[in-house]
Structure 1
Amino acid sequence: MSLQFEVVPVTPFQQNCSIIWCDETNEAAMIDPGGDIHLLKEKLQQLGLTLTKLILTHGHLDHVGGTAPLAAEFNVPVVGPHKDDAFWLEGLPRQSEMFGFPMTEAFEPTQWLEDGDVITVGKQTLAVYHTPGHTPGHVVLHSEDANVAFVGDVLFKGGIGRTDFPKGDYQTLINSIKGKLWPLGNAVIFIPGHGPVSTFGQERASNPFVADEMPLY
């Protein structure tokens, strides 16, 4: 019994939507369903999964654009992000205009997340970490069982999230990465919001923004 996942890049921004599921119950969640709903539904069907919830790491349009229609169609709750990103979700119509995306109406999640919360997917669990900096309400999700973290736009292979958006802050982001992510362990594989996967140890050794000369082994 373990947590499984498959990454489906969506939207012109190639945002990594992660479909995660418990391989004992086939209950699934989608993390950051940013758009291209038809692709996500096809993958869900191919895998033979039952969608039980949608989980958001933060309020940017390329991560949340498909949320409301999926929640309505499958009648599932929307979990996250932290309430400090409410202004991003309220501003979705303006984000749509700014980025040339289809019009996306504002919505409020079923549940805001707090640092220390636990999300269940079937018989699997995800620990929630509040990781502000890219946005003030950003959260990261960690499965200890699968040794994987879903980090949204906090950290990338060789990079970190932008901090030039409203209420973004560079030092806060660095503190989130070093204070919340690194203690989870060097061997943790992370799925970023865009681009290839990596490990925390690899980024500690080589990422120019957050490396600490930590040896890989």
Structure 2
Amino acid sequence: MDFRILPVTPFQQNCTLFWCPSTRHAAIIDPGGEPETIDRAIRELALEPQRILLTHGHIDHVGASAEVARRYAIPIIGPHADDAFLIDGLAVQSEMFGFPQVTAFQPDQWLQHGDRIEVGEARLSVIHCPGHTPGHVVFFDREGQLAQVGDVLFQGSIGRTDFPRGNHSDLIASIQQRLFPLGDDVRFVPGHGPTSTFGAERRSNPFVRD
């Protein structure tokens, strides 16, 4: 798959366009805000959005979901249902983090570990990785050796676990038992900041290195 990262919101959250180069069918991953920015990139790249995919329920990752879904008449898929309390509490999150009030929504489909999502001729595997939030999921393109990991893992760091229902031990287990075994060569797009590889983080990340 090809991808483009679009930093959005004051938190510079990585909304990511994943698309199949053969069909130009695309998934919009974590549209946290700035729907016009997302729309411009889609038109520039001549993509055909098929669905919105959400890694987890924090507002900087989901805030523009309802508006983007409406614009393209596409479904909102994910995260895992354990994050329903966050989706239901978007108004509270808006107040807590100083975001404008966002349009409430309910996902068209909750995801489970092991689900598969087709994007054109490509296929993404769903990996449940709780810790940052209980319902956090990762999207993995096995053929392309590419993952969108949301706020589980970053270059040189890991996700926070001091938000409601965060769990540090679950987060470490998700990284070490579900992400690193995918292979050192896998590139990943985090929810914020630059890309990296699982191998680089396994070797040098002070929070989870060998």
TM-score normalized by the length of structure 2? 0.99
- 1:24 corresponds in structure 2 to 22
SS in 2 for 1:141: strand
Where do 5+ consecutive residues of structure 2 fail to align?
Answer: none
SS in 2 for 1:62: helix
Displacement, 1:106?
A: 2.9
Residues in 2 aligned to 1:110 and 1:101: alpha-carbon distance in whole angstroms: 24
Residues in 1 aligned to 2:172 and 2:104: alpha-carbon distance in whole angstroms: 30
Q: Which of 191, 197, 202 matches 2:200?
A: 202
Residues in 1 aligned to 2:119 and 2:103: alpha-carbon distance in whole angstroms: 27
Displacement, 1:99?
A: 1.1
Question: Which amino acid is the alignment partner of residue 163 of structure 2?
Answer: F
- 2:83 corresponds in structure 1 to 85
- 2:149 corresponds in structure 1 to 151
- 2:8 corresponds in structure 1 to 10
Instruction: State the Cα deviation string for residues 158-181 of structure 1 (Å, max 9, x = none).
Output: 000000011100000000000100
Aligned length: 210
- 2:202 and 2:208 in contact (8 A); partners too: yes
SS in 2 for 1:63: helix
- 1:182 corresponds in structure 2 to 180
SS in 1 for 2:68: helix
Q: Which of 170, 173, 188 matches 2:171?
A: 173
Where do 5+ consecutive residues of structure 1 fail to align?
Answer: 213-217
1:47-58 alignment, distance < 5 Å: 47-58=45-56
- 1:215 corresponds in structure 2 to none
- 1:112 corresponds in structure 2 to 110
SS in 2 for 1:39: helix
Instruction: State the Cα deviation string for residues 22-71 of structure 1 (Å, max 9, x = none).
Output: 11111111000000111000000000011110000000000000100111
Residues in 2 aligned to 1:38 and 1:77: alpha-carbon distance in whole angstroms: 18
Residues in 1 aligned to 2:196 and 2:25: alpha-carbon distance in whole angstroms: 26
Would you identify which runs of 4 or more consecutive aligned residues in structure 1 move more than 6 Å? none
Residues in 2 aligned to 1:107 and 1:67: alpha-carbon distance in whole angstroms: 8
Residues in 1 aligned to 2:77 and 2:112: alpha-carbon distance in whole angstroms: 11
- 1:70 corresponds in structure 2 to 68
Instruction: State the Cα deviation string for residues 99-119 of structure 1 (Å, max 9, x = none).
Output: 111101332100000000001
Residues in 2 aligned to 1:28 and 1:115: alpha-carbon distance in whole angstroms: 21
TM-score normalized by the length of structure 1? 0.96
- Asked if 1:135 corresponds to 2:133, the answer is yes
Question: Which amino acid is the alignment partner of residue 130 of structure 1?
Answer: H
SS in 1 for 2:40: helix
**What value does the CA root-mean-square deviation take over the aligned residues?**
0.6
- Asked if 1:96 corresponds to 2:110, the answer is no
Displacement, 1:146?
A: 1.1
Question: Which amino acid is the alignment partner of residue 76 of structure 2?
Answer: V
